[in-house]
C-alpha cells in the first residue's frame, strides 16, 4: 500500500513534553532525551545509521518504541586511543561514534575493563579508566531506556499488555484455587506465572518511571516503571491506564500509523490533565525552555556585542557603541529570562550546582558591565559584558555534559535560605573578580599594544578596577563568613579548612592584598591591573580547581574534565601578567602619550596612604 | 609619649607588613589545600594552620627544618599589625568609621577563632545502633589506652593514656594503686590477620588472640579510613609484673585483671569523651528522591537523657538541623550498616556567637566605607 501523502507524521513535539520521573524529578521526555544523549556523546546528538541527525525527542521515541532501529544509531562516543583499540578501531582518531549493535561484540571486554577500572578510586583513574567506566554506564543507561515503557524484546507490547490484562483475573483465580487445594486451570496458572517472572526481571532495568498511577500515590510520588506498574496490576486487578496508553502509542508508532499514534497521544494527554493537572505545567515549560535555548541565543548576541563594541573603538564610535549597548541589554534580558525559568522549574535560588553557577556568574557580571557602561560610556563595559557573558555561557554549555542541570540537590544543600545568601554571594564575588580581571587585561593590552591609551582612559580603567574590586571584596568576604555561619548551624563549627572554604578564603585574602597594596601606595594603576589579572587565577582555582581535589565535605561538585582548560586559563593569565611587566617605556600607549603630552607621574587616586 | 610609642610601633603598623602577612597567608592556604589530597584535611590542618612553622624533613633524617611561618604566626602577626595600626593612627572621623567597624569585626573574628582553636576539644563522633544508648563520643583520629577500675557500684573509674604517650619503651606511672605501664611495642596503624595468613611465621606481629595477629601498616591519611594502633604493654604494681597484654584498637575488647584486690580492665580503643548525659537512637531514616538513590534527607530520632538536669525527651537531628545541648552540637554526619546505624558528629564551640557579631560589624563597616566611596565616585565621575 502506497503511503498516504496527506498523513501527518507522529507529533514528536507533543510526545517530547510528556512528563516522566527521572533522577528524582518530573521532567519532559525531551529533557530525558537530552540528558541521556549528553551522557553518550559530547554533541548530545542522535545520529541515525544514515548519518541524519534526529531531534532529541525523536531519537528517544525510537529508543523507547522501536529499539531494534535505535540499536543502529550512532550514539556512543569514544575518543581515547586505548579504548578505540579495545573496540576494534585501532586506527581511528578523534571522536568516533558507535552504535549499540557495533559495540555488541565487545560487551564482555568493556564489562571486564570497566570492572577493573572501578576498583581504582574515581579521582585517581586515568583517561582510559574514566572513559571505559563512562562507556559502560552509557550502555547501561541505553539498555534501561529501551525498557522504560516496554520490554524491548516484545514484538508488540500493546498486544502483550492486552493479553496480560486478560490473564490477570483467571490467573488469580487459578492461584487462589491452587492454594485452597481445589481444581484449577494449569494453563491460567502458568500464564500468570510467566508474566510475573517476566516483569520481575524487567524491574532490574528500571531507570525512568513513565507511568503515573493514582492508585499507587504513596510510593515514588505515584510514578512507576512499566514493570512495577504491571506487577502492581496483578494486585489491583487491572492494568494502569497509562501503561495501556503507552501500549497504544507503541502499536501506532511501530505500525507507522501516525494517525493512531497521534490519537493515542491526545487521549493520554487528556488523561494526564485529569489525574495530575498540577504536575504538567513544569514539564511543558521545561520543554519550551529546551526548544527556545535562551542561553545559546544569548551567546550569539554576546558575540555580536563584542564585534560592535570593538569596532566602535575604531570607527563610528557613537552609532556602533550605542548598538552594542542595545544588543548587550537584549542579550542580558534573554539571559535573565533563562535564569528565571530555571529558578522556577527548580523552585530554588539561582545557584545550585556548577552549571548554574556559571550561568549566574555570567549574568551578574553582565549586569555590572551594563552599570559600568552607563557610568563611563566608553565601550569597556560592553566589551567586558560580551566576553564574560559569552565565556561563562560557553563554560555552562560544556558543564551541561555532566548530566541533568536541574538535578535534585544533595541533602546538605537542601536549604533555600543559605543557597540564596552564601552561595549567591560567593557567585557575585566571582563575577566581580572576573570583571575586574578582564578590565585589567584590557588595561594591559591597550597600554602595551595600542595608541588609544591616553591618560583619561588609563585613569578611568583604574577607577573601574578599583570599584569592581571593592564590590568583589564586599561580596566574597560577607559570603565567606555567611558560609561559616551555615557551617556552624549545620556542622557545629565555623571553619573546617575544607578545600572549598579555603578557596573562598583565598579570594578574600587576595582582595585584601590588592586593596591594601593600593592604599599603601605599593601598587598604582598598572600594579592594580596586574593584580586583578592574577585575581582571575585565584578565582578560577576557587571555582573549579578545589573541586578537582576530591577532598572534603563540599566535593559533590567533582569534575575532572576541566583540568586541561583550567591549566590553560591559568597559564594565559600568567602570560598576560608577564606582558604587563614589560617596562613602561616600551608600552605603545606610553610612547604615544609622551609624544603628545609632557611626561607626568602616573596618576593616583583619592585615598590617602594611611587609610589602613 | 604618644610620639615615642608611635615611632616604636611604626614597623608593626606598616601596610607593607599587612600585605606581606596576607601574602604569607595565601601561600599557606594554597599549599595546605593542595596537600590535603595527600594527607587529608585533619593532618593538613595540624601541619599548616594550627602550627607555628611548616617543617621540612630531609629524606632519611630526623631533622625538622622550619621553612615557612605556620598559621599561628601569620594570624598573630596580622592581629598585632591590625591592632597596632589602629592604636597608632586612631582618629575618630566619619571618613574612617567604616574601616574601623570592618577591622574591629575582623579582630573579633580572629581572636574568637584563635580562642576556639586553643580551648576546644576536637570534633568527635557518636555511633549509635538502633536502640543503643551512649554517654560518650569517640575521637576520629586519636586512641587511648584505658585502664578501667570496674569495682565501683554504679560508675567506673577510667585512667586514659593518650596515644601520644604510647611509644616503644615508655614507662608511665598511673595515678592509682601504684600501677605502672610499660609500652613494649607499639604500631601506630595495624591490621588484624589470621595467624595462618602471616607472610612467614617470624614476620613481626603482635598476638592479639588465638585467631588474630596484628601486623604493622603505614599510617593512613585517607578521609574514609583511620589509623588503628596495636600495642603490647606490661602492667606492673610496685615494680612487680602483673601481666603483659597485646591490644588492638581494631578489636577493642577489654581484658580483665586484678590489682590491689580490685577488678580492672585494660583496653586500647578510640579516645572517648564522656558527657554528663546520654543519647539513645530511636530511629534512623534515610530518605531518597523518588525513584533514585540520591539522598534527600538523613534523620535520627533520638532520646536525650540528662538526670542532673531532669531532662528526658525526644529530639530529631537532620541535615542542617543539629541538636544543641549544653555547649555541644550533634549533627547528622553519616550512617552505616544498611541504614541501621547513625553517625553523629559532636562539636563544641563556646565562641559560636562571635562570627555572627563580627559578620554584622564587617558588613556594616564595608557598606559604610564602600557606600561613601560610591557616592563620591558618582558625584565626581569623569566621562572621557
Give the model confidence (pLDDT) of B238-259 as tens digits. 888 989 999 998 888 899 988 8
Average pLDDT, integer, range A496-524: 92
Output the pLDDT for position A493. Answer: 76
* The pLDDT value given to residue B6: 64
Q: Specify the pLDDT at position B293.
A: 75
Same domain, B87 and B206: no
Whether the Cβ atoms of residue A250 and residue A234 lie closer than 8 Å to each other: no
CB atoms A509 and B22 under 8 Å:
yes
Q: Based on the domain organization, do B264 and B285 belong to the same domain?
A: no
Tell me the CA distances in angstroms from A450 to A443, A458, A594, one per residue in order. Answer: 10, 12, 14
**Which grid coordinates belong to A122?**
574515581
Say yes or no: B143 and B246 in one domain.
yes
Asked whether residue B261 falls in the same domain as residue B280, the answer is no
**Are B187 and B223 in the same domain?**
yes
Q: Is B330 on the interface with A (CB under 8 A)?
A: yes
| E-assigned strand segments in A118-272 | 211-212, 223-224
**CB neighbour list of residue A474: distance below 8 Å, 6 or more residues apart:** B366, B367, B370
Write the pLDDT tens digit of every residue in A345-356: 988 999 988 899
Distances (CA, A) of A570 to A534, A541, A576: 9, 9, 10
Interface size, chain A vs chain B, as Cβ–Cβ contacts under 8 Å: 195
Are the beta carbons of B384 and A457 separated by less than 8 Å? yes
Contact A556, A410 (CB under 8 A): yes
Q: How many domains does chain B have?
A: 3
Q: How far apart are the first and last CA of chain B?
A: 50
pLDDT in tens, A187-226: 999 999 999 999 999 999 999 999 998 887 777 888 999 9
Interface of A with B in 29-88 (CB under 8 A): none
* Cβ–Cβ < 8 Å for A534, A434: no
The pLDDT assigned to B120 comes to 67
Model-level pTM? 0.87
Which residues contact residue B361 at a Cβ distance below 8 angstroms, ignoring those fewer than 6 apart?
Answer: B101, B102, B104, B105, B108
Which chain B residues contact residue A467 at CB under 8 A? 373-374, 377
Cα dihedral B122, B127, B133, B136, rounded to 10, equals -20
A298, three cell numbers: 544569548
Contact: B345, A491; criterion CB under 8 Å: yes
pLDDT tens for each residue of A554-605: 544 445 667 788 899 999 999 999 999 999 888 888 877 765 544 444 443 3
At residue B121, the pLDDT reads 60
User: What is the rounded distance in angstroms from the CA atom of residue A485 to the CA atom of residue A24?
Assistant: 29
Q: Which residue has the cell 577493642?
A: B252
Could you tell me if B230 and B282 lie in one domain?
Answer: no
Measured between CA atoms, how close is B41 to chain A, in angstroms? 7
Q: What pLDDT band is residue A608 in, cutting at 50, 70 and 90?
A: very low
Interface test with B, best of A22, A481, A515 (most B CBs within 10 A): A481
Q: Are residues B269 and B366 in the same domain?
A: no
Q: What is the pLDDT of residues A526-559, one digit of tens each?
A: 999 999 999 999 999 999 888 877 665 554 444 5
**A470, A499, A516: residue with CB nearest B22:** A516
**Are B156 and B265 part of one and the same domain?**
yes
Do B257 and B143 reside in the same domain of the chain?
Answer: yes
Give me the pLDDT at residue A495, please: 85
Question: In which region does residue B300 sit, left (phi positive, over 0), alpha (psi from -120 to 50) or beta (all else)?
Answer: beta
* Host domain of residue B156: 139-273
DSSP letter at B51 equals S
Nearest to A488 among B25, B346, B349 (CB): B349
pLDDT at res. A90: 85
Under an 8 A CB cutoff, do A493 and B13 touch?
A: no
Same domain? B255 vs B323: no
B137: how many CB neighbours lie within 10 A of its CB? 26
Which pLDDT tens digit goes with each residue over A482-492? 888 888 877 77
Option in A456, A505, A551 nearest B384 (CB): A456
Residue B382 and residue A493: Cβ atoms within 8 Å?
no
Return the closest-CA partner of residue A215 out of A196, A242, A191, A250: A242
Spatial distance between the Cα atoms of A365 and A295, rounded to a whole number of angstroms? 15
| Region of B206 on the Ramachandran plot (φ > 0 left; ψ -120 to 50 alpha; else beta) | beta
CB contact under 8 A, A481 and B29: no
Per-residue pLDDT in tens (0 to 9) along chain B, 384 residues: 456 666 777 788 888 999 999 999 999 999 999 998 888 888 888 899 988 999 988 888 888 889 999 999 999 999 999 998 888 876 777 778 888 899 999 999 888 888 777 766 667 899 999 999 999 999 988 899 999 988 887 888 899 999 888 998 899 998 887 889 999 999 999 988 888 888 888 888 888 888 888 888 888 887 778 899 999 999 998 888 989 999 998 888 899 988 888 889 999 999 999 999 999 999 999 888 877 777 788 899 999 999 998 999 999 998 878 898 988 889 888 888 888 899 998 988 777 788 889 889 998 998 898 888 778 777 765 544
Interface contact B46, partner A, CB < 8 A? no
Cβ distance B322 to A492 less than 8 Å, yes or no, reads: yes
Chain B residues inside the 8 Å CB shell of A516: 15, 18-19, 22
ipTM over 0.90: no
Q: Are residue B108 and residue B218 in the same domain, yes or no?
A: no
CA dihedral B372, B377, B378, B379 (to 10 degrees): 90
Contacts of A223 in chain B (CB under 8 A): 290-291
Whether residue A3 is predicted with pLDDT greater than 50 in this model: the reply is no
| Cα atoms found within 13 Å of the Cα of residue A588, Cβ hemisphere only | 11
Q: C-alpha angle A559/A561/A564, rounded to 5°? A: 125
The answer to whether B294 contacts A509, with C-beta atoms less than 8 Å apart, is no
Predicted pLDDT at A140: 95
- Determine contact: B33 vs chain A, CB below 8 A: yes
Strands of the sheet containing B212-216, edge to edge, are B190-193, B212-216, B206-209
Residues B79 and B152 in one domain: no
Rounded mean pLDDT of A131-154?
Answer: 93
Return d(Cα A484, Cα B112) in angstroms, integer.
13
* Spatial separation of the C-alpha atoms in residues A413 and A232, rounded to whole Å: 35
A23 contact B CB<8A: yes
Amino acid at each position: 500500500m502506497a503511503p498516504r501523502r496527506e498523513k501527518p507524521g507522529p507529533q514528536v513535539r507533543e510526545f517530547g513534553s510528556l512528563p516522566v520521573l527521572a533522577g528524582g524529578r518530573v521532567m519532559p521526555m525531551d529533557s530525558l532525551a537530552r540528558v541521556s544523549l549528553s551522557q553518550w556523546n559530547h554533541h548530545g546528538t542522535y545520529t541515525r545509521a544514515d548519518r541524519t541527525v534526529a531531534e532529541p525527542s525523536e531519537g528517544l521515541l525510537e529508543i523507547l518504541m522501536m529499539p531494534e532501529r535505535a540499536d543502529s544509531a550512532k550514539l556512543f562516543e569514544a575518543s581515547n586511543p586505548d579504548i578505540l583499540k579495545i573496540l576494534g578501531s585501532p586506527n581511528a582518531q578523534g571522536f568516533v561514534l558507535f552504535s549499540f549493535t557495533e559495540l555488541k561484540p565487545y560487551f564482555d571486554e568493556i564489562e571486564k575493563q570497566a570492572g577493573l577500572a572501578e576498583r581504582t578510586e574515581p579521582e585517581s583513574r586515568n583517561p582510559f579508566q574514566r572513559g571505559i567506566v563512562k562507556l559502560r554506564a552509557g550502555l547501561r543507561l541505553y539498555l534501561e531506556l529501551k525498557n522504560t515503557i516496554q520490554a524491548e524484546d516484545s514484538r508488540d507490547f500493546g498486544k502483550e499488555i492486552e493479553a496480560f490484562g486478560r490473564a490477570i483475573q483467571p490467573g488469580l483465580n487459578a492461584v487462589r484455587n491452587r492454594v485452597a487445594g481445589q481444581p484449577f486451570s494449569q494453563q491460567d496458572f502458568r500464564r500468570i506465572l510467566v508474566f510475573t517472572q517476566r516483569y520481575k526481571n524487567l524491574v532490574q532495568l528500571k531507570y525512568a518511571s513513565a507511568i503515573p498511577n493514582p492508585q499507587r500515590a504513596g510510593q515514588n510520588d505515584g510514578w512507576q516503571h512499566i514493570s512495577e506498574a504491571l506487577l502492581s496490576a496483578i494486585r489491583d486487578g487491572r492494568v494502569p491506564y497509562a501503561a495501556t496508553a503507552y501500549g497504544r502509542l507503541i502499536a501506532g508508532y511501530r505500525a507507522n500509523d501516525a494517525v493512531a499514534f497521534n490519537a493515542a497521544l491526545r487521549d493520554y494527554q487528556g488523561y494526564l490533565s485529569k489525574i495530575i493537572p498540577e504536575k504538567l505545567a513544569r514539564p511543558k515549560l521545561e520543554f519550551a525552555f529546551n526548544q527556545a535555548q535562551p542561553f545559546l541565543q544569548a551567546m550569539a548576541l554576546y558575540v555580536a556585542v563584542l564585534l560592535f563594541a570593538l569596532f566602535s573603538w575604531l570607527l563610528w564610535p557613537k552609532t556602533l557603541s550605542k548598538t552594542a549597548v542595545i544588543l548587550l541589554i537584549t542579550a542580558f534580558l534573554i539571559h535573565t529570562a533563562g535564569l528565571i525559568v530555571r529558578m522556577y522549574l527548580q523552585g530554588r535560588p539561582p545557584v545550585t550546582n556548577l552549571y548554574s553557577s556559571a550561568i549566574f556568574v555570567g549574568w551578574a557580571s553582565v549586569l555590572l558591565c551594563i552599570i559600568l557602561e552607563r557610568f563611563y560610556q566608553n565601550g569597556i563595559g560592553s566589551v567586558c559584558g560580551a566576553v564574560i557573558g559569552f565565556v561563562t555561557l560557553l563554560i555552562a554549555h560544556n558543564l551541561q555534559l555532566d548530566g541533568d542541570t536541574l538535578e535534585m540537590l544533595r541533602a546538605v544543600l537542601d536549604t533555600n535560605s543559605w543557597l540564596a545568601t552564601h552561595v549567591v554571594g560567593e557567585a557575585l564575588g566571582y563575577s566581580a573578580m572576573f570583571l575586574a580581571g578582564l578590565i585589567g587585561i584590557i588595561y594591559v593590552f591597550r597600554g602595551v599594544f595600542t595608541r588609544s591609551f591616553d591618560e583619561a582612559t588609563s585613569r578611568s580603567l583604574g577607577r573601574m578596577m578599583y570599584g569592581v574590586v571593592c564590590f568583589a571584596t564586599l561580596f566574597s568576604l560577607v559570603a565567606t563568613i555567611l558560609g561559616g555561619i551555615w557551617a556552624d548551624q549545620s556542622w557545629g563549627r565555623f571553619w573546617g579548612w575544607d578545600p572549598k572554604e579555603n578557596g573562598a578564603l583565598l579570594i578574600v585574602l587576595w582582595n585584601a592584598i590588592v586593596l591594601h597594596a593600593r592604599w599603601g601606595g605599593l601598587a598604582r594603576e598598572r600594579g592594580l591591573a596586574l593584580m586583578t589579572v592574577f585575581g582571575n587565577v585565584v578565582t578560577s582555582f576557587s571555582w573549579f580547581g578545589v573541586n578537582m581535589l576530591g577532598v572534603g565535605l563540599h566535593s559533590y561538585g567533582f569534575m575532572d574534565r576541566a583540568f586541561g582548560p583550567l591549566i590553560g586559563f591559568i597559564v594565559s593569565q600568567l602570560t598576560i601578567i608577564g606582558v604587563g611587566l614589560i617596562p613602561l617605556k616600551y608600552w605603545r600607549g606610553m610612547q604615544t602619550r609622551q609624544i603628545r603630552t609632557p611626561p607626568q607621574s602616573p596618576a593616583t587616586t583619592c585615598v590617602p596612604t594611611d587609610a589602613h | 609619649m604618644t610620639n615615642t610609642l608611635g615611632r616604636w610601633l611604626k614597623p608593626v603598623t606598616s601596610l607593607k607588613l599587612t600585605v606581606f602577612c596576607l601574602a604569607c597567608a595565601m601561600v599557606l592556604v594554597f599549599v595546605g589545600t593542595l596537600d590535603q589530597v595527600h594527607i587529608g584535611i585533619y593532618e593538613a590542618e595540624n601541619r599548616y594552620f594550627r602550627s607555628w612553622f611548616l617543617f621540612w624533613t630531609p629524606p632519611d633524617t630526623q631533622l625538622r627544618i622550619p621553612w615557612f611561618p605556620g598559621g599561628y604566626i601569620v594570624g598573630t602577626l596580622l592581629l598585632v599589625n591590625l591592632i597596632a595600626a589602629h592604636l597608632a593612627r586612631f582618629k575618630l572621623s566619619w571618613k574612617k568609621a567604616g574601616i574601623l567597624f570592618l577591622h574591629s569585626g575582623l579582630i573579633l573574628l580572629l581572636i574568637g577563632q584563635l580562642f576556639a582553636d586553643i580551648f576546644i576539644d576536637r570534633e568527635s563522633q557518636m555511633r549509635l545502633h538502633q536502640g543503643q544508648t551512649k554517654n560518650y563520643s569517640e575521637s576520629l583520629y586519636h586512641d587511648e589506652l584505658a585502664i578501667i577500675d570496674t569495682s565501683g557500684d554504679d560508675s567506673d573509674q577510667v585512667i586514659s593514656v593518650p596515644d601520644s604517650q604510647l611509644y616503644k619503651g615508655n614507662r608511665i606511672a598511673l595515678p592509682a594503686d601504684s600501677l605502672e605501664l610499660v609500652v613494649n611495642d607499639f604500631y601506630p596503624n595495624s591490621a588484624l590477620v589470621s595467624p595462618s595468613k602471616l607472610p612467614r611465621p617470624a614476620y613481626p606481629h603482635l598476638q592479639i588472640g588465638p585467631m588474630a595477629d596484628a601486623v604493622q601498616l603505614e599510617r593512613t591519611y585517607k578521609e574514609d579510613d583511620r589509623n588503628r594502633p596495636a600495642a603490647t604493654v606490661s602492667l606492673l604494681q610496685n615494680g612487680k609484673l602483673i601481666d603483659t597484654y597485646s591490644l588492638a584498637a581494631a578489636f577493642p575488647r577489654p581484658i580483665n585483671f586484678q590489682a590491689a584486690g580490685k577488678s580492672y580492665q585494660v583496653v586500647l580503643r578510640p579516645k572517648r569523651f564522656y558527657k554528663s548525659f546520654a543519647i539513645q537512637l530511636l530511629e534512623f531514616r534515610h530518605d531518597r528522591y523518588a525513584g533514585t538513590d540520591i539522598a534527600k534527607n538523613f534523620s535520627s530520632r533520638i532520646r536525650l537523657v540528662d538526670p542532673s538536669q531532669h531532662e528526658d525527651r525526644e529530639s530529631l537531628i537532620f541535615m542542617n538541623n543539629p541538636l544543641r545541648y549544653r555547649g555541644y552540637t550533634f549533627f547528622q554526619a553519616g550512617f552505616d550498616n544498611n541504614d541501621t546505624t547513625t553517625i553523629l558528629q559532636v562539636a563544641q564551640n563556646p565562641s559560636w556567637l562571635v562570627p555572627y557579631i563580627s559578620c554584622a560589624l564587617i558588613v556594616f563597616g564595608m557598606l559604610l566605607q564602600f557606600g561613601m566611596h560610591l557616592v563620591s565616585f558618582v558625584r565626581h565621575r569623569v566621562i572621557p
